[in-house]
Amino acid sequence: MTAPISSYVPPEWAPQAAVWVGWPHIRSEWGEAFDGARREITAFVQALAQTTRVRIACGSQDALTSAENALSHLIATDRVELKAVPAGDIWLRDTGPVIGRNAGVEEAARFRFNGWGEKFVIPGDTETASAIAKLEGLPIRTHPFVLEGGAVEFDGAGRMLTTRQCVLNRNRNPEWTQELAEGALRAAFGVTQIIWLNDGLLNDHTDGHIDNIARFIGPGRVICQTPSGATDPNASQLTDIYETLTEAGLDVVTIPSPGLICDESGHPVPASHMNFLISNRRVFLPVYEADHSTNATRALALAMPEFDIIPLPARHILSGGGAFHCMTQQVPDSEDVDR
C-alpha cells in the first residue's frame, strides 16, 4: 500500500533533522509539578540531543532564561537551540505544525486549534504552528478544520490511526460525520486507509488522542498496551483497542500499561507508555512506576529490536497532561520528505 504522491507525512522512524521541544513557563498551569517537569524535560533533552538537534520553543522571557540555565552546556555545543516562539504551554504535538510534503514541496500543515475542545484556551497556542514553520523556512498550508497532531498517527505507507472520541467530538468540528472527516483527512495527509478506534484513556483531557493508546512502529505494524493487573482503570478500553487493531488486519504487538496511577487527589490520570518519541533510531519511553516501567521497557525492546530504548521519568510532565510525544514535534530530514 503506497500513499498518493501529492501528500505525504513521513513516519516517525524516518530520519529527522531536528525535534522541537516545549518548555514550561506558566507556573499556574502546572502547580507543584512545575519545577519537576522542567527537571524531567532537561533530562529528556540531554538524552535526545545525543543523536538529534533540539530546538526549544520558549514562550516567554522566563522560559528563555530558565532553559538557558538548564541547558547551557548543550547550547554551547550547538546541539540545542533556544527559539522565541508564541506558545501557551508545551504541547507542540498539538499546537505545532505537521511537516510533510504536498505536490512535491516540503511544507508545514497548520490546523485550527481550539484548546482541546475549548477546555484549555491559552494565549499563544494558536500562533505556535505558524511561528515554527517560519523559523524552519517552510511554506504553510492552512486547513480550515480543528485538529491536533496527537490525534493522528501515520505509518508512511498510506495508513492512519485515529479515534472517534476525539476527531468526531462535537467540541471540535460539530458538523463532521465519519464520512466527512475521512474526506478531509485523506485530502490533508494523502492517506488511503483510516483505522478508527473508539475511546482513549480515562480522564484524558484531549478526548482520546491516539498517541496515548496506539502507535505505528513500522508499515502496517502497530503497538498498544495490555492491562496491568485488576486495578488498571483502562482495562476495557485497552482490550477493545487490541481487538479493533487486530480486526483491521494490522500486525499488532503489545507492552504492559503503567496501570493505576493517581494524582494528588486520588483520581486516575491517563499515564501511558504509548506516549514515546521515536527519533533517529532511538525510542524515548516515558516511565512512571518501577515495576511496570521495567516490564514495559523490556517488552518494547523486544518489539523494536532495531532501536535503542531510552526509559526516562515523566511523572511530573504527566501532571500537565502528557509526556514526551505530546511535548515534541519532529522536523523530518528533507531528503526523506522529498523521496
Is residue 2, in this structure, part of any structural domain at all?
no
Tell me the pLDDT tens digit for each residue of 22-62.
999 999 999 999 999 999 999 999 999 999 999 999 999 99
Please name which of 194, 185, 183 lies closest in space to residue 158, comparing C-alpha atoms: 194
> Does the pLDDT value for residue 201 go beyond 50?
yes
Work out the percent of the chain whose per-residue pLDDT is above 90: 91
Is residue 30, in this structure, part of any structural domain at all?
yes
Is residue 86, in this structure, part of any structural domain at all?
yes
* Domain ranges, residue 235: 7-337
For residue 327, the SS3 value is coil
Joined together, the cell numbers standing for residue 67 give 532553559
Is residue 93, in this structure, part of any structural domain at all?
yes
Instruction: Note if 58 is an active site residue.
Output: no
- What value does the mean pLDDT take over residues 165-181? 98
Q: Are 209 and 166 in contact (CB under 8 A)?
A: yes
Catalytic residue (one of 58, 166, 224, 326): 326
| More confident of the two residues 1 and 335 | 335
Alpha-carbon distance 327 to 34, whole Å? 14
> Does the pLDDT value for residue 2 go beyond 50?
no
> Does the pLDDT value for residue 304 go beyond 50?
yes
Neighbours of 139 (CB within 10 A): 11
Is residue 90, in this structure, part of any structural domain at all?
yes
> Does the pLDDT value for residue 70 go beyond 50?
yes
Please, what is the average pLDDT of the chain?
95
Signed CA dihedral, 68, 72, 74, 77: sign only:
positive
Where residue 320 falls among pLDDT bands split at 50, 70, 90?
Answer: very high
Where residue 104 falls among pLDDT bands split at 50, 70, 90?
Answer: confident
Q: Which residue has the cell 484524558?
A: 204
pTM (2 d.p.): 0.95
Joined together, the cell numbers standing for residue 73 give 552546556
Q: What is the CATH number of the domain that holds 11?
A: 3.75.10.10
Is residue 189, in this structure, part of any structural domain at all?
yes
Q: Which residue has the cell 508512511?
A: 156
Is residue 1, in this structure, part of any structural domain at all?
no
Q: Are 15 and 278 in contact (CB under 8 A)?
A: no
Alpha-carbon distance 199 to 226, whole Å? 15
Tell me the pLDDT tens digit for each residue of 246-270.
999 999 999 999 999 998 889 999 9
Q: What is the pLDDT of residue 336?
A: 54
Is residue 262, in this structure, part of any structural domain at all?
yes
Highest mean pLDDT among 102-106, 287-291, 304-308: 304-308
Query: What's the total number of domains in the chain?
Result: 1
Where residue 338 falls among pLDDT bands split at 50, 70, 90?
Answer: very low
> Does the pLDDT value for residue 5 go beyond 80?
no
- What value does the mean pLDDT take over residues 311-326? 96
